[in-house]
Amino acid sequence: MERTSWMLGLGAAIALMGGCLPGGERAQNNNPWGDGGSTGIGGSGGDGDNCLPGETCSDKTPQGLHFMGPSTFDSFFSGGPKAMAVGGTQTIKVYWDNQGNFPFDLPFDAHGTGVVEIKETSPSEVLVGASDPGTGYLRLTEAGTNLLYDRFQLSAFNIDKVELAPIDMYPALGAEPPSAPWVALASSTMPVALLLWNGQTRLVDEGVTLTLAGDATPLENSAKWDAVWLTAAATGAFTVEAKAPTFSTQSITVKIVSKADKITPLVTALGNFPTGKLGLEESEFYCFRPYSGTNPVAGTNWEYNSSAGLEVADEFFPGCVTVRGLQLGTQSLTVKGAGAQLTLDIEVITAASGNKSTLPKLPKPGRPIYPGDRVDSN
């Protein structure tokens, strides 16, 4: 059985999937399931008597509102507002519905409480920031009054770590990041992503500027606040630089190589790399990384081939697949990428647990957005 990289086909299918936007506190108060309504304008559930303690509410939004934050390089859909970097900004879009189909179209005033600062407003959008760490609310009210449409709690943190890395070097399923500098596969296309951290919390700052120089070409109309898409040249090196008021300038220079010389199995957050045994009708994750010497190679397009006794699912993450045992006996899995190849022998045995399982149910994959994908209104 053969499976090729999601870079070649999985994206088109995932791009058609939808996501839900979180509701403000009035929307959550009004919905007995707590998720802020349904796909209709104004949501559903509850009776509309959902004003919040200490607030006087507008009768024009009895079902509350829904809020969208900025998209990131590893998400198809923007989802809700994110934790902000202190000194940074994010654009928040406001909708009647939790699918983001109906922008909020009533006149409003935007107010910040706590650390939340209002930078700019435009129809159905608010640019917010924070000068100090902490929490606060974005409050939307009827224009010229203090009657609450809805509110959303936001948080801000100081940045304690800044990373620049290609998406396929981003730790797959919790795998340890490589210790040696990464290199790029010649003529490959990839996003180089910026990650801002406070501990384990990802932060956003749409004030970041990313620039590319050297032996690589940026993809047209591919710019995002946290990623630069590029195609590497056949030889040479390129540099990506990130600038923002919220952190000191960061840059990486990346050497281009013609191929990898080996593929190595990875240890992931799901446990050690699986042994050579796999239970019948049971599944394991197998993750891989190509290397040129000691340097991990980015920009790899993966291909997986197996004997008939194994089922290989589409990639969950670059270089990571789920493998299920279908027939007893010794089976083989061959992994190809960046000009290198690795073949594993896997013995399918009677499962010790006696429980037949389907492929594990996991969170949606963090596939980067490719130029041309239909994602959201950004």
Residue 102 has which token pair?
């109906």
pLDDT tens-digit series, residues 256-286 = 999 999 999 887 665 556 678 889 999 888 8
Strands 189-198 and 227-232: antiparallel
pLDDT tens-digit series, residues 107-124 = 999 999 999 999 999 999
What is the phi-psi region of residue 160: left when phi exceeds 0, alpha when psi lies from -120 to 50, beta otherwise? alpha
- For residue 199, count CB atoms less than 10 angstroms from its CB and return exposed for 0-12, middle for 13-18, buried for 19 or more: exposed
What predicted TM-score, i.e. pTM, was given to this entire model? 0.74
- Label residues 27-61 b or e (16+ Cβ within 10 Å = b): bbbbbeeebbbbeeebbbbbebebbbeebebbeeb
Question: What is the model's pLDDT at position 10?
Answer: 30
- Is the pLDDT confidence value at 197 over 60? yes
Check residue 272 and report its DSSP letter: S
- Tell me if residue 12 falls in helix, strand or coil: helix
- Distance from C-alpha of 197 to C-alpha of 105, rounded to nearest angstrom: 34
Query: What kind of architecture, by CATH, is found in domain 19-157?
Result: Sandwich (2.60)
pLDDT tens-digit series, residues 79-109 = 899 999 999 999 999 999 999 999 999 999 9
Question: What is the model's pLDDT at position 318?
Answer: 77
pLDDT tens-digit series, residues 319-331 = 888 899 999 999 9
Q: What is the fold of 2-8+261-349?
A: Immunoglobulin-like (2.60.40)
Q: 9 or 274, which is more confident?
A: 274
pLDDT tens-digit series, residues 198-252 = 998 999 999 999 999 999 999 987 778 899 999 999 999 999 999 999 999 999 8
Question: What is the model's pLDDT at position 38?
Answer: 39
Question: What is the model's pLDDT at position 285?
Answer: 82
pLDDT tens-digit series, residues 359-376 = 344 333 344 433 443 333
Q: 352 or 41, which is more confident?
A: 352
Domain extents in the chain: 2-8+261-349, 19-157, 161-257
Question: What is the model's pLDDT at position 298?
Answer: 92
Instruction: Give residue 180's pLDDT band: very low, low, confident or very high (50, 70, 90).
Output: confident
Do the two domains 2-8+261-349 and 19-157 of this chain adopt the same fold?
yes
Question: What is the model's pLDDT at position 271?
Answer: 56
pLDDT tens-digit series, residues 16-66 = 334 589 999 999 987 644 444 433 344 333 444 679 999 999 999 999 999
Q: 372 or 144, which is more confident?
A: 144
Indicate the CATH number for domain 161-257: 2.60.40.10
